[in-house]
Chains A and B, each alone.
Chain A
Amino acid sequence: MNEKIKKNSFLTNQIQVSLKINAKNRSLTLDSRTSLLDALREHLELNGTKKGCDHGQCGACTVIMNGKRQLSCLTLAATCEGANVLTIEGLAKKDKMHPMQGAFVKHDGFQCGYCTPGQICSAVALLQEAKDGDASYVTADVRNISKELKLSEEEIRERLSGNICRCGAYNNIVQAFKEVHSADDEMPTWKFATKMQMKSAKRK
C-alpha cells in the first residue's frame, strides 16, 4: 500500500521515488540530491542504517539492495525507483533475529555498535556471494572458481574489509561469520592464566 505523498513546499528539485523497503512499498518526495542513506534516516525514521563517512569509505551505511550489498551513502535515492531494499530493521523475521544477528551477539562482534548494522548487512550478503562463487582480491585463481564456496579465514577477512570497525571487533566478527557460514562454533580466544602458571611465574 502506498503511503500518502508528503507535500514539502520548501524542497528544492523535488523528485518522487517509489521503492520497496523491508518488504513494504514506500513512495517518497525528496530533494533530488538526497542519498538513499539520508532518505532512510531523515525521511523514513529507519535509523538502523548508519552514517559513518558519507563517502563510501567505511561501510557503515551498507544495505542489501536487490540481493547485493550496496553503500547507501553513494546511492542517490532518485536512482532507486522500483528497487528492493533490505535494511537491518528488516533482517529479523517477526521477533526472530537473523542467524547472523544472533551470532554477532554471541561472539560480541561489536562494541559501540555503530558499524554493526553495516557489518551484518555485508556479512549476510556475503553468504550469498559465497554461494554464487563470486571472486575476491585474495581469490587464488579467478578463472577457476566454483559455486558454494567455503570461505577461508583470509577470504572472510578480505571480503569484510569494506566495513571499518574502529572499536576493533574484527576477530569476533570473523567468528560470528564463521558460525553462520560453516557452522564453525569456536569462541573468542581469551582465557585466564592458571594457578600453576601464576605460581611458576612469580617474581623471584
Chain B
Amino acid sequence: MKTKNATGVGNAIDRVEGHLKVTGEATYASEFKVENKAYGQGINSTIAKGEIIGIDTSEAEKLKGVLKIITYKNAEKLKTFDKERPVLATDSIAPVLQSNKVHYYGEYVGFVVAETFEQAQYAASLVKLKYKEDATARFILGQNKDKAYNPSEESDHKRGNLKKGFSEADAIIEQTYNTPIEHQHPMELHATISSWNNGKVLVYASQQIVEDAVISISGTFQIPKKDVRVVAKYVGGGFGSKLNVERHLIMAVMASKMVGRPVQATVTRSQMFTNTGLRQSNIQVVKLGAKKTGELTGLLHETLAYTSTTQEFQEPCGSMSKMMYNVANAAVSERLVPLNLQQPFSMRAPGEATGSFALECAMDELAWKLKIDPVQFRIKNDTQEDLSQEKPFSSRLLVECLTIGADEFGWNKRQQKPRANKKGNWLIGYGVSAAARAAPFNETHAKVLLNLTNDTVTATLQMDATDIGTGSYTILAQTVSDCFNVPLEQVVVELGDSDFPITPGSGGSWGAASYCNGAKSACDNAIAGLKKNRNVPKDEDVSIAELLKMNQITSYESQSLAKPDSEFEKHSIFSFGANFTEVWVDKDTAMYKIKRMVNVGSAGKILNPKTAYGQVIGGLTMGAGMVIAEQTKVEPNFGNFITRSFADYHVPVNLDMANVDVIFLPEEDKIANQMGIKGIGELGITSVAASIANAIFNATGKRMRDLPITPEKLLMAEVEDGVTV
C-alpha cells in the first residue's frame, strides 16, 4: 500500500527557509564572509547632459584609507554599445565610466575605494568634478511629444476597422490617463561583494536572474562566461530592479581588479532612485465605444512613454488591452520619447500595472455612461479567444473571478449612483476591475542528487533559480517531496548559484511554473533511470529508497530540462483575476482610506496557498501604492529627481493597508505546463489601481485619471458631468 509521506504541492506549509529569515541567518549579498575586503562608493553626476571637463581628486586622495579613485580617465576599458540606443535586456552589457559624457542627472561618474565604508563615503563627497553643461537636455514627456518614435513594428497592433467600430457605437468615451515615474525600492539595497582573481570573477550579488548576470558581466569585461560565478542565495526583494546587472556591480568588479582585493559596494537608498531602474512615466489615451446593450465595438489604446538617450525600453502598456475583451475593432500602439533621465526598465507587471489602470478605468467610465453594472459590462465582453494572437486561451475563468468576487464582496449593496452611500462625514464607494497577466513558462534545467543513508533518502535539488521572496525554496521543496514521496525534512533545496543548472530566474511571473516543472522533470528522470536499470515497469509503485537499494547504490544524480510543448505554443496563456475595493473618502478633506479589498485569482495550480497569498497581498499593496502615494518627481529645469528618499517617495505602510480577502479558483492548466501552474506575482498588482480609482468615483463622483490620487488632487477635482452632488 502506498503511504503518503510527502508534504507535496498544494499544501499551505510554512516557508522552508522561514527560520533563517526570522533569526537573521539568511545571507544576503553583502553578508558573505569575505576576507580582506575594501569598500566602494559610487559618485553621481550633478548635471543631466554635458561633459566632464575637470576632475580634482587631490583632497579625497589625501584621506587616510583611500585606496583608489576611479573615473573615466583611469577606468578599465569595457565593452561599449555598438549602436545607438540598443534595447535594454536582462543580459545586456553595462558599461560605466567609459567616457567624459553625461547623459542624465545621477549617472555614475566615479567610484572611490577605501578601507572602510565611512572613508569611502566621505572621500566620494570630496571628489570635485567640473562640467560643461549642454542646455539641450530634455526632461518632460508631455513637452516632447513631437520627438516620439516607433520603437518596433511589434509596437502596433491593429485588427478590424476601428472607424467602423466607433461609428456603430451608441456611447464613446475618450480619456487620457497619466502615470508617474515609480521606483521598485526593494528593501534590500542593491549590494555586492565582488572579487577579481587572476581573470576569474566571483560576485555575491542581489540579482533576480543569475545566468543573465553572468552573461552581462562576461560580456562587459569580455571574459569567458566560465570565468564568472554569481551567487545570490537570498535576494531582499526585486520587483524588477534586480533583473539586470546594474553598474555598481561592474564598478565593484573593476575596482577589485584594480586594487587586488574584494570590493563591497552598497548602493545608497538615494542612489536607488538614480542607478537601479525605475518604471517610466506614461501618457495613455484610451477610447472605447459600445452599443447600448453593452457590446464593445471599438478600442483604441495609445501609449506615450520615455526611454533614456542611451538605451531603449518600452513598457508594453497595451498588452492587456489587446487580449482582454471581445472587441473586433482595435488599435493599440506604443511610442517612445528619448529623455535625459535615467534608463527605465521593468517594474512589477511592466505594462499591465499601468496599462490596466487606463483600460479598466475607461471600462468603468463607459459602463457608467451606458448605465450598465461594471461587473456585467465586463462579463458581457468576455472572450475565450485571444483576438490579438488569434489563439484560444488555454483557460480563462474571468467570468468566474468576477462573479464569485462580486458575491463575496457584497457587490449587490453597491449604489450605481455616485455619492449615494454616506456614513457621517464619509462618502463610501465600491470599485471593480478585471485583470490578466501572461503566464510564461521558460526552458529550465535542474539537477537532483539522491543519497541513501540507513534506509533514509535525502534528495538535494540544485538550480540557479532565485527566491526573491516569492517562495521558490518552499514550492520547490514541496515539488521534490511530492515527486519522490518523501517527507519535506528529507529534501534540500540549493538555489542562487551560477554553478548550478540554468533556469530563467525570477521575473515576469515565469518563476513558479518554470522552476517547478524543471525540478519535477529532474525527479521524474531520476525515477525513470533507476527503474530502467532494473527493468522495473514505469508505472509500478516502488519507493525511491527501494529503487536505490535495487540498484545497489547509495547515491544517484539526475539532470533534466523542462520546456514548453506544442500545445503551449498553440494557445494564449494568461492568469486572470478580479479586484473589488471599498474606499471611504472624507467629504471635506478628501483624505481617504482603503477599507477592504477582495481579490479573486485564477492562476492555475496553487502550489502553496500561504506563499501565493503573500504574492497577492504584496501585489495589492504595491497597487495601492500606485494610487495613494508613489511618484518620483522630476525637477523641470535640472532634470534631477526631487524625491530622493522614503521621506518624500512614500510607499504603503502597515496602517495604509486594508483587510484583504483572497480567493483562489481551484484550477490546473495542463495546457500551460505539465504541473498546471500559472504565475500569480504580477497578476496581484494588475488593475488594483483601477479598482481603487473606480471606487473613488463611486464614492465622490470624481474621475481621477492622474496617479497618484493624493487628497489635494481629489479635493480640487470637479465631479463628472451628470453626477448630482
B22, B269, B403, B647 pick with most chain A CB within 10 angstroms: B22
Within 8 A of A (CB), among B444-471: 468-471
| Contact A108 B14, beta carbon cutoff 8 Å | yes
Within 8 A of B (CB), among A22-71: 31, 33-34, 38, 41-42, 45-55, 57-58, 60
| Subset of 8 A-B contacts with CB under 8 Å | A11-B65, A48-B23, A51-B266, A108-B614, A114-B188, A166-B237, A167-B469, A172-B617
Interface: B657 (CB within 8 A): yes
**Which residues of B are found within 8 Å of A108, using beta-carbon distances?**
14-15, 18, 610-611, 613-614
Interface size on B, residues (CB 8 A): 86
User: Which residue of A33, A158, A167, A192 is within 8 Å of B664 (Cβ)?
Assistant: A192
B126 CB to closest chain A CB, in angstroms? 13
| Contact A31 B646, beta carbon cutoff 8 Å | no
| Contact A172 B614, beta carbon cutoff 8 Å | yes
| Contact B116 A31, beta carbon cutoff 8 Å | yes
A7 CB to closest chain B CB, in angstroms? 13
Q: How far is the CA of A112 from the CA of B615 in the complex (A)?
A: 11
User: Which residue of A33, A163, A174, A198 is within 8 Å of B118 (Cβ)?
Assistant: A33
**Which residues of B are found within 8 Å of A31, using beta-carbon distances?**
116, 118-119
Interface: A161 (CB within 8 A): yes
User: Which residue of A47, A92, A114, A157 is within 8 Å of B655 (Cβ)?
Assistant: A157
| Contact B22 A116, beta carbon cutoff 8 Å | yes
Interface: A164 (CB within 8 A): yes
Given contacts A12-B63, A89-B23, A188-B610, contact A203 B188 (CB under 8 A): no
**Which residues of B are found within 8 Å of A201, using beta-carbon distances?**
399-400, 403-404, 407
User: Which residue of A89, A168, A200 is within 8 Å of B657 (Cβ)?
Assistant: A168
Q: How far is the CA of A141 from the CA of B189 in the complex (A)?
A: 39
Within 8 A of B (CB), among A167-195: 167-174, 188-193, 195
| Contact B31 A47, beta carbon cutoff 8 Å | yes
Within 8 A of A (CB), among B615-666: 615-622, 645-647, 651-657, 659-666
**Which residues of A are found within 8 Å of B664, using beta-carbon distances?**
190-193
**Which residues of B are found within 8 Å of A57, using beta-carbon distances?**
269, 645-647
Q: How far is the CA of A64 from the CA of B16 in the complex (A)?
A: 27
Q: How far is the CA of A57 from the CA of B19 in the complex (A)?
A: 26
Interface: B64 (CB within 8 A): yes
Interface: A87 (CB within 8 A): yes
Of the listed stretches A97-105, A127-135, A143-151, name the one at the interface; the rest are far from the partner chain.
A97-105
**Which residues of A are found within 8 Å of B122, using beta-carbon distances?**
33
Given contacts A12-B119, A31-B116, A55-B647, contact A164 B187 (CB under 8 A): yes
Interface: B702 (CB within 8 A): no
**Which residues of B are found within 8 Å of A189, using beta-carbon distances?**
659-662
Interface: B113 (CB within 8 A): no
Question: Which of chain B's residues has its CB closest to A91's CB?
Answer: B23
B251 CB to closest chain A CB, in angstroms? 19
| Contact B646 A53, beta carbon cutoff 8 Å | yes
B21 CB to closest chain A CB, in angstroms? 3
| Contact A38 B117, beta carbon cutoff 8 Å | yes
| Contact B407 A188, beta carbon cutoff 8 Å | no
Interface: B4 (CB within 8 A): no
B21, B31, B115, B646 pick with most chain A CB within 10 angstroms: B21
Given contacts A54-B268, A114-B237, A117-B24, contact A193 B660 (CB under 8 A): no
**Which residues of B are found within 8 Å of A60, using beta-carbon distances?**
187
| Contact B611 A193, beta carbon cutoff 8 Å | no
A151 CB to closest chain B CB, in angstroms? 12
| Contact A197 B404, beta carbon cutoff 8 Å | yes
| Contact A113 B116, beta carbon cutoff 8 Å | no
Interface: B185 (CB within 8 A): yes
Interface size on A, residues (CB 8 A): 77
| Contact A55 B21, beta carbon cutoff 8 Å | no
| Contact A58 B665, beta carbon cutoff 8 Å | no
Interface: B350 (CB within 8 A): no
Q: How far is the CA of A188 from the CA of B268 in the complex (A)?
A: 34
Q: How far is the CA of A162 from the CA of B655 in the complex (A)?
A: 10
A38, A51, A164, A174 pick with most chain B CB within 10 angstroms: A51
Question: Which of chain B's residues has its CB closest to A165's CB?
Answer: B187
Interface: B48 (CB within 8 A): no
**Which residues of B are found within 8 Å of A193, using beta-carbon distances?**
400, 404, 600, 663-666
Interface contacts (Cβ under 8 Å), in number, total 251
Q: How far is the CA of A202 from the CA of B622 in the complex (A)?
A: 31
Interface: B234 (CB within 8 A): yes
**Which residues of A are found within 8 Å of B609, using beta-carbon distances?**
190, 192
Q: How far is the CA of A160 from the CA of B654 in the complex (A)?
A: 6
B296 CB to closest chain A CB, in angstroms? 17
**Which residues of A are found within 8 Å of B618, using beta-carbon distances?**
111, 167-169
| Contact A42 B117, beta carbon cutoff 8 Å | yes
Interface: A85 (CB within 8 A): no
Interface: A115 (CB within 8 A): yes
**Which residues of A are found within 8 Å of B659, using beta-carbon distances?**
171, 189
Q: How far is the CA of A91 from the CA of B531 in the complex (A)?
A: 49
User: Which residue of A53, A89, A104 is within 8 Å of B269 (Cβ)?
Assistant: A53
A162 CB to closest chain B CB, in angstroms? 8
| Contact A169 B189, beta carbon cutoff 8 Å | no
**Which residues of B are found within 8 Å of A169, using beta-carbon distances?**
614, 617-618
For the complex of A and B, the 5 pairs showing the least CB-CB separation, nearest first, are: A48-B24, A168-B621, A112-B469, A114-B236, A113-B21
Interface: B170 (CB within 8 A): no
**Which residues of B are found within 8 Å of A21, using beta-carbon distances?**
none
| Contact B403 A113, beta carbon cutoff 8 Å | no
User: Which residue of A110, A162, A174 is within 8 Å of B21 (Cβ)?
Assistant: A110
**Which residues of A are found within 8 Å of B403, using beta-carbon distances?**
200-201
Q: How far is the CA of A181 from the CA of B118 in the complex (A)?
A: 40
| Contact A168 B617, beta carbon cutoff 8 Å | yes
**Which residues of A are found within 8 Å of B187, using beta-carbon distances?**
50, 52, 58, 60, 112, 114-115, 164-167
A27 CB to closest chain B CB, in angstroms? 18
**Which residues of B are found within 8 Å of A101, using beta-carbon distances?**
19, 22-23
Produce 1/0 per residue, B661-691, CB < 8 A to A. Answer: 1111110000000000000000000000000
Given contacts A45-B33, A202-B400, contact A113 B234 (CB under 8 A): yes
Within 8 A of A (CB), among B577-631: 600, 606, 609-622
| Contact B382 A203, beta carbon cutoff 8 Å | yes
Q: How far is the CA of A60 from the CA of B301 in the complex (A)?
A: 41
A189 CB to closest chain B CB, in angstroms? 5
Interface: B28 (CB within 8 A): yes
**Which residues of B are found within 8 Å of A190, using beta-carbon distances?**
609-610, 612-613, 616, 661-664
Q: How far is the CA of A198 from the CA of B403 in the complex (A)?
A: 9
Q: How far is the CA of A157 from the CA of B658 in the complex (A)?
A: 10
| Contact A171 B24, beta carbon cutoff 8 Å | no
Beyond known contacts A53-B645, A156-B654: 11 more, CB 8 A cutoff:
A31-B118, A53-B269, A101-B23, A108-B15, A113-B22, A168-B619, A170-B617, A170-B657, A189-B662, A192-B664, A193-B663
| Contact A10 B64, beta carbon cutoff 8 Å | yes
Q: How far is the CA of A54 from the CA of B30 in the complex (A)?
A: 15
Interface: B166 (CB within 8 A): no
B292 CB to closest chain A CB, in angstroms? 20
**Which residues of B are found within 8 Å of A157, using beta-carbon distances?**
654-655, 657
Interface: B186 (CB within 8 A): yes
| Contact B269 A116, beta carbon cutoff 8 Å | no
| Contact A191 B663, beta carbon cutoff 8 Å | yes
A61 CB to closest chain B CB, in angstroms? 11
A105, A108, A195 pick with most chain B CB within 10 angstroms: A108
Interface: A81 (CB within 8 A): no
| Contact B651 A198, beta carbon cutoff 8 Å | no
Q: How far is the CA of A160 from the CA of B655 in the complex (A)?
A: 8
A161 CB to closest chain B CB, in angstroms? 4
B725 CB to closest chain A CB, in angstroms? 30
Interface: B27 (CB within 8 A): yes
**Which residues of B are found within 8 Å of A200, using beta-carbon distances?**
403
User: Which residue of B65, B266, B382, B663 is within 8 Å of A10 (Cβ)?
Assistant: B65
Question: Which of chain A's residues has its CB closest to B646's CB?
Answer: A57
| Contact B21 A192, beta carbon cutoff 8 Å | no
B683 CB to closest chain A CB, in angstroms? 14
